[in-house]
Structure 1
Amino acid sequence: MTTPRPSLFRMLDRVSLVVQIAIGLVAGIALALIAPGAASTVSFLGDLFISALKAVAPVLVLILVMASIANHQQGQQTHIRPILLLYILGTFSAAVVAVIASTLFPSSLVLTAEVTELSPPEGITEVLSGVVLSAVDNPVSAVLDANFIGILAWASGLGLAFRQASEGSKRMLADLSDAVTSIVKRVIRCASLGIFGLVAGTLATSGFDALADYAHLLCVLLGCMLFVALVMNPLLVWWKIRRNPYPLVLTCLRESGVTAFFTRSSAANIPVNLQLCKRLGLHEETYSVAIPLGATINMAGAAVTVTVLTLAAVHTLGIQIDIASAILLSVIAAVCACGASGVAGGSLLLIPLACAMFGIPNEVAMQVVGIGFIIGILQDSAETALNSSTDIIFVAAACEAKGDVPEPVV
């Protein structure tokens, strides 16, 4: 009797997600070089993959957080506070790194980019009020618009209410959470096809020619993000777990950062991070809340982007700043980054707010935003990879520091 051949999904399960993405990446580059017309045609695979992730992420966060809180047992400890502290320290330190790098390697801009018709926030008060208003959004609108602040608020409220419900109702929420998680796993299985379409379509339509004029600015941006990912984050992790942080850091960069680099959306990468947390054996009641929260407020990459582009405009215009102003910019960049959208290009809308503290006119600031969109092919991808991988790095570090991991995370 012959043994039945394994299904396609079973074969894919035997190959790691990183290897699948690498195959899709190489195939996409090859197709874009050999047949640009065909590459533009298959770009719909990338759009389909991103749309699927964005569609499932809000529902997953709502159900998972609500079920986690509803089924929380008295006496079980979560570690949200130390994770929040890491989020704050990580974002602020990233802004400081950007200030130092921009001072040592100042960038000059050619402020001739087309002004984009956007509506940036006019002050920190507007940013904070927007966060509060997002928290009290209609729950249906929050899910439809992927407003994760509103989703977290409603999921937390409903979860607390369901803690008084019957065991049958709590079990129903747990089963619903498992069902949505199962759908997410099937979506993630298609990552290689999605990356194939994204890379082929991007190279065929945009290429990298537009990046040549801004090579220095890109080097400063990407250098800051690499420094944060490979130096600052490991230092913060070592501070929490007091052992070699690089096995954890490199694992998260490989498993989470790679997918986030191509999806260019912290929100879309939430399912990937949640699945990785489960595989690493982290505390479910902690990561089910901390990962969606991190996708909303843990924005080290956004802080780097806001700071570097603002100081590039300052240097171009010949504005002199002192150390106190640079520190204030770091604080503002960190606060603004926490209000950045979890979708591609969200941090660029906050640049005019940071420029305003140096008296830079909004017309000039919007040209800087336009330059940000030009270099966004790499800048936004690297920013999202840093943001999303840092979410899970800090969650894993906090869980291990509290002893809620079966064995050291590697």
Structure 2
Amino acid sequence: MKTLLHRWSRLSLVTRIFLGIIVGVILALAFPKATGIALFGSLFVSALKAVAPVLVLLLVMAAISNHKKGGRTNMKSILALYGLSTFSAGLIAVIVSFIFPVKLSLTTGDSDLTPPGDIVEVLQTLLFNVVDNPVRALLEANYIGILAWAILLGVALKGASDQTKSMLTQFSDAVSQIVKWVIQFAPFGIMGLVFSTITANGLASLLDYGKLLLVLVGCMLFMALVINPLIVYVNIRSNPYPLVLSCLKESGITAFFTRSSAANIPVNMRLCEKLKLDKDTYSVSIPLGATINMAGAAVTISVLTLAAVHTLGISVDFGTALILSVVSAIAAAGASGVAGGSLLLIPLACSLFGISNDIAMQVVGVGFIIGVLQDSFETALNSSSDVLFTATAEYAKKRKEGSKTTVNA
């Protein structure tokens, strides 16, 4: 047993996760009624969700309070990359939806769901999340509120004694260590998540929506493997794929199965540390990205909205569809502030084309049916690109500084 544990610990985490996926599939096919296996997945996601809010609060507070005057971060560049990627995703989804129009067999939506009325309501929700009670923000994992309080407390503690700052840093390091312990259980957690996904949903029920899924997943893969690498190349001027594939492998896989950007924050923090990125930057950019970097959500909103448009035979010019790209990007950035995420922002986008709320909610119903795959790919794209663009901004900065040094020499 000791030898087996030693060999297991010597395997890379990604290899262990792949083994967990394989075991999860085998167990789901061989013992579909062994529901206790799914408990591993629930416990893993719950542990990540439990530690993530505290990690974000302490890391951001420590980073800002210890930040030296004159020191530079890359937040402006990262925010620009987040915005460019999210808008590009909405635009790609619109173009693909015109090339491969999809029509839906509309189903009954969930009458208990209440979508936002307009974009103002989405932004208003975000603003109220900023000024949320800090204790409630932690309890409900409201990362906008957590970030706001962490930044304010960090700034307020800039004048604190070195002992206070040191204690704050030690607390953040302690929580980071707990995160590392939790992540070591990722293979067992992923095994449980794979088991529950296959036994609870199956894939046969998704065949009726094959074309819709192909358009959604195709757009997201195109963003992950073509557009995002192109954005990275323009900034770092070298082969982007080693970084892109590393982010997809070490962040995207866990995000695919947890289906939660919040739960993947600790995983992304660990990857940033592995890539030796600036802690002052990624301690803010990663939780912020989990809230506003939503390329996958922009794809979902655009594709499902235009599917409704094609189903109803509404004639749409490309200019109006381009406006949809902008609206879907803005709405996607606010998706985390709305219960139900990106799917509940579809009625808002449908209103651009005069589609009634009753029809739009039926489209939301379709979204929930295919959600087992749609949400997985969406989260994998969103979360892995948080690390990708944080690293890109830092590498681009180093490249520029290196060019200046060469010129001065």
Residue from 236, 256, 259 that aligns with 1:261: 256
| Paired letter, 2:18 | A
- Name the SS of the counterpart of 1:37 in structure 2: coil
Matches within 5 A, 1:318-357: 318-341=313-336, 346-357=341-352
1:81 alignment partner in structure 2: 76
CA drift of 1:76 comes to 1.5
Higher fraction of helix: 2
Normalised to the residue count of structure 1, the TM-score between the two structures is 0.95
Q: Residue 241 in 1 paired to residue 245 in 2?
A: no
Q: In structure 2, what is the Cα distance between the partners aligned to 1:112 and 1:29?
A: 30
**Does the 8 A contact of 2:216 with 2:299 survive in 1?**
yes
Describe the shift of the 1:344–1:396 C-alpha distance in structure 2 as closer, same or farther (beyond 3 A): farther
1:191 alignment partner in structure 2: 186
Describe the shift of the 1:36–1:342 C-alpha distance in structure 2 as closer, same or farther (beyond 3 A): farther
Q: Residue 51 in 1 paired to residue 46 in 2?
A: yes
Describe the shift of the 1:291–1:105 C-alpha distance in structure 2 as closer, same or farther (beyond 3 A): same
CA drift of 1:344 comes to 9.9
Residue from 17, 25, 32 that aligns with 1:29: 25
1:175 alignment partner in structure 2: 170
Q: In structure 1, what is the Cα distance between the partners aligned to 2:76 and 2:286?
A: 13
| Paired letter, 2:24 | G
| Paired letter, 1:365 | A
Cα deviation code 1:151-205 (max 9, x no counterpart): 0000000000111100000000100000000110111111011111111112112
Identity %: 60
| Paired letter, 1:251 | S
| Paired letter, 1:176 | F
Describe the shift of the 1:369–1:344 C-alpha distance in structure 2 as closer, same or farther (beyond 3 A): same
Q: Residue 148 in 1 paired to residue 143 in 2?
A: yes
**Does the 8 A contact of 1:266 with 1:343 survive in 2?**
no
2:10 alignment partner in structure 1: 14
Q: In structure 1, what is the Cα distance between the partners aligned to 2:399 and 2:280?
A: 11
Residue from 221, 225, 231 that aligns with 1:230: 225
CA drift of 1:113 comes to 3.4
1:67 alignment partner in structure 2: 62
Cα deviation code 1:121-141 (max 9, x no counterpart): 110100111111000000000
**Does the 8 A contact of 1:299 with 1:387 survive in 2?**
yes
| Paired letter, 1:378 | L
Q: In structure 2, what is the Cα distance between the partners aligned to 1:369 and 1:333?
A: 15
Cα deviation code 1:213-256 (max 9, x no counterpart): 10000000000000000111011101111111111111111111
CA drift of 1:116 comes to 4.3
**Does the 8 A contact of 2:103 with 2:308 survive in 1?**
yes
- Name the SS of the counterpart of 2:322 in structure 1: helix
Q: In structure 2, what is the Cα distance between the partners aligned to 1:401 and 1:261?
A: 28
Residue from 316, 321, 325 that aligns with 2:311: 316
Describe the shift of the 1:230–1:343 C-alpha distance in structure 2 as closer, same or farther (beyond 3 A): farther
Q: In structure 1, what is the Cα distance between the partners aligned to 2:16 and 2:340?
A: 26
Q: In structure 2, what is the Cα distance between the partners aligned to 1:5 and 1:143?
A: 40
Q: In structure 1, what is the Cα distance between the partners aligned to 2:111 and 2:391?
A: 39
2:106 alignment partner in structure 1: 111
CA drift of 1:6 comes to 7.1
CA drift of 1:399 comes to 0.5
Q: What is the root-mean-square deviation in Å for CA atoms of aligned residues?
A: 1.9
Describe the shift of the 1:104–1:333 C-alpha distance in structure 2 as closer, same or farther (beyond 3 A): same
CA drift of 1:319 comes to 0.6
1:126 alignment partner in structure 2: 121
2:357 alignment partner in structure 1: 362
1:302 alignment partner in structure 2: 297
Q: In structure 2, what is the Cα distance between the partners aligned to 1:343 and 1:27?
A: 35
1:90 alignment partner in structure 2: 85
- How many residues were matched structurally? 402
Q: In structure 2, what is the Cα distance between the partners aligned to 1:293 and 1:358?
A: 31
**Does the 8 A contact of 1:260 with 1:381 survive in 2?**
yes
Q: In structure 1, what is the Cα distance between the partners aligned to 2:181 and 2:17?
A: 15
Q: In structure 2, what is the Cα distance between the partners aligned to 1:82 and 1:216?
A: 36
Q: In structure 1, what is the Cα distance between the partners aligned to 2:339 and 2:11?
A: 29
- Name the SS of the counterpart of 1:341 in structure 2: helix
- Name the SS of the counterpart of 2:18 in structure 1: helix
Describe the shift of the 1:285–1:343 C-alpha distance in structure 2 as closer, same or farther (beyond 3 A): farther
Matches within 5 A, 1:265-276: 265-276=260-271
Q: In structure 2, what is the Cα distance between the partners aligned to 1:167 and 1:343?
A: 40
**Does the 8 A contact of 1:91 with 1:298 survive in 2?**
yes
**Does the 8 A contact of 1:116 with 1:370 survive in 2?**
no
Residue from 288, 304, 307 that aligns with 1:293: 288
Residue from 193, 201, 204 that aligns with 1:206: 201
